[in-house]
């Protein structure tokens, strides 16, 4: 005869805990093992008892194997196993929406760092690296059987108003063509992320569905309507061909992102041999047209085009070259998968001191010409007219634009 089913959440690893719950008819019991048992063992026990009481758990056994997890992580893992077991919150009202400071539509997004949504030891320190946007990922970096507990952990992380005060906070949900993506929205909207990244977006309908779901959640939770933005991700041939409609599908859209790896697989591109010049220069020739379409679609809609990741975290030269290629195409930023990539991306996309000084000189020369009744003016061997002045002004604006 088999024993009771044991439900698990979390990992027995640094800054995390492994929580198990086994249902039984016996009165509830608990065992706590912690690497910080002497200092915090009793506090962990009290926190667990509060969770059991909140979910009305009177029977079964709860085991906690902790390796220095914060209280919010421990509670997230306990909540996950209890909800898996069919328990629902019994005491206390549903927590009100977080009062997170708002972001802005045109803030700098040169770097967006992807953080696995099921691994707290990455998430808790993510803001220290200075990315413009932190993307807590519930999609590709989380295994299917871990998605339920991952969205609970991300929600609890974002509910802590003392974390992530500088970077823009975003969540990449799962695709909305299955229930997983909709469950992500139901779980995390109250934690009020600044932006929702919509993966594998293939039509304006995908954006409109997300827009409707967000509006319903905002109304239910007392959040200002339209305050949570959307950044669709183009990752398929179908999505690339619909890029213009996608970019214009909602007033919530602030960026149009590209996902190279999935796109390349979708169009069945075959990489060039490693000995070829094409491969060595990381030109991504299979995606050139799609990237140009994404830039055109985003710019025509007045939102930011953001490029894909560069997957080789050790090739900083290749990363820098990839950034310069993206910038030349019109992209405004790039995704990173490792903190060490952030500074290289920022340096490539931010105007250099020389560029800023030249831009200021161009604007000054043109304005002086206008004062004297002129128009276009020669500067450093080049005729300066309105389009070049506008471009120079954008460089100056970007150099002074922060979060």
Model's pTM, two decimal places?
0.87
Q: How confident is the model at residue 237 (pLDDT cuts 50, 70, 90)?
A: very high
Closest CA to 44 of 89, 83, 10: 10
Q: Which residues does 55 contact at the CB level (< 8 Å), separation at least 6?
A: 79, 82, 83, 87, 88, 89, 90
pLDDT in tens, 326-355: 999 999 999 999 999 999 999 999 877 777
Q: How confident is the model at residue 13 (pLDDT cuts 50, 70, 90)?
A: very high
Closest CA to 257 of 237, 231, 296: 231
For 145, the token pair is: 């059987």
pLDDT in tens, 75-125: 999 999 999 999 999 865 456 667 888 899 989 999 999 999 999 999 999
Q: Residue with structure tokens 């061997």?
A: 381
pLDDT in tens, 157-180: 999 878 898 899 999 999 998 899
* CB contact burial 281-311 (16+ within 10 A = b; e otherwise): eeebebbeebbebbbbbbeebebbbbbbbbe
Q: How confident is the model at residue 400 (pLDDT cuts 50, 70, 90)?
A: low
For 306, the token pair is: 């953001």
Q: How confident is the model at residue 1 (pLDDT cuts 50, 70, 90)?
A: very low
| Beta pairing partners, 115 | 136
Residue 3's pLDDT is what? 61
**373 pLDDT above the threshold of 70:** no
CATH of domain 111-349: 3.20.20.60
């Amino acid at each position: 005869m088999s024993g009771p089913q044991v439900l698990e959440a979390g990992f027995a690893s640094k800054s995390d805990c492994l929580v198990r719950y086994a249902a039984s008819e016996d009165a509830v019991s608990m065992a706590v093992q912690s690497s910080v048992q002497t200092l915090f063992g009793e506090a962990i026990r009290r926190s667990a008892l509060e969770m059991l009481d909140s979910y009305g758990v009177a029977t079964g056994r709860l085991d906690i194997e902790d390796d220095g997890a914060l209280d919010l992580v421990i509670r997230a893992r306990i909540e996950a196993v209890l909800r898996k077991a069919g328990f629902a919150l019994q005491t206390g009202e549903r927590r009100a929406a977080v009062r997170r400071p708002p972001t802005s539509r045109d803030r700098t997004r040169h770097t967006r760092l992807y953080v696995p949504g099921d691994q707290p030891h990455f998430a808790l320190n993510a803001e220290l690296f200075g990315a413009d946007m932190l993307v807590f990922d519930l999609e590709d970096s989380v295994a299917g059987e871990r998605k339920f507990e991952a969205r609970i952990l991300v929600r609890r992380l974002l509910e802590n108003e003392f974390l992530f005060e500088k970077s823009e906070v975003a969540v990449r949900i799962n695709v909305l063509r299955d229930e997983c993506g909709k469950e992500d929205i139901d779980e995390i909207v109250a934690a009020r992320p600044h932006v929702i990244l919509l993966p594998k977006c293939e039509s304006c309908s995908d954006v409109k569905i997300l827009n409707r779901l967000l509006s319903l959640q905002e109304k239910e939770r007392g959040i200002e309507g339209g305050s949570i933005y959307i950044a669709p991700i183009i990752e398929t041939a179908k999505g690339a061909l619909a890029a213009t409609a996608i970019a214009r599908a909602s007033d919530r859209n602030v960026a149009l992102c590209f996902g190279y790896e999935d796109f390349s697989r979708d169009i069945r591109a075959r990489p060039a041999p490693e000995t070829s010049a094409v491969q060595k220069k990381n030109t991504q020739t299979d995606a050139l047209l799609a990237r140009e379409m994404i830039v055109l679609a985003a710019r025509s809609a007045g939102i930011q085009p953001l490029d894909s990741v560069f997957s080789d975290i050790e090739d900083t030269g290749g990363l820098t070259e990839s950034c310069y290629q993206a910038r030349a195409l019109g992209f405004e930023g790039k995704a990173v998968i490792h903190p060490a990539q952030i500074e290289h991306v920022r340096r490539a996309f931010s105007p250099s001191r020389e560029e800023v000084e030249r831009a200021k000189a161009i604007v000054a020369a043109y304005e002086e010409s206008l004062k004297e009744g002129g128009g276009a003016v020669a500067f450093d061997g080049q005729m300066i007219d309105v389009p070049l002045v506008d471009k120079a002004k954008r460089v100056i604006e970007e150099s002074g634009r922060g979060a």
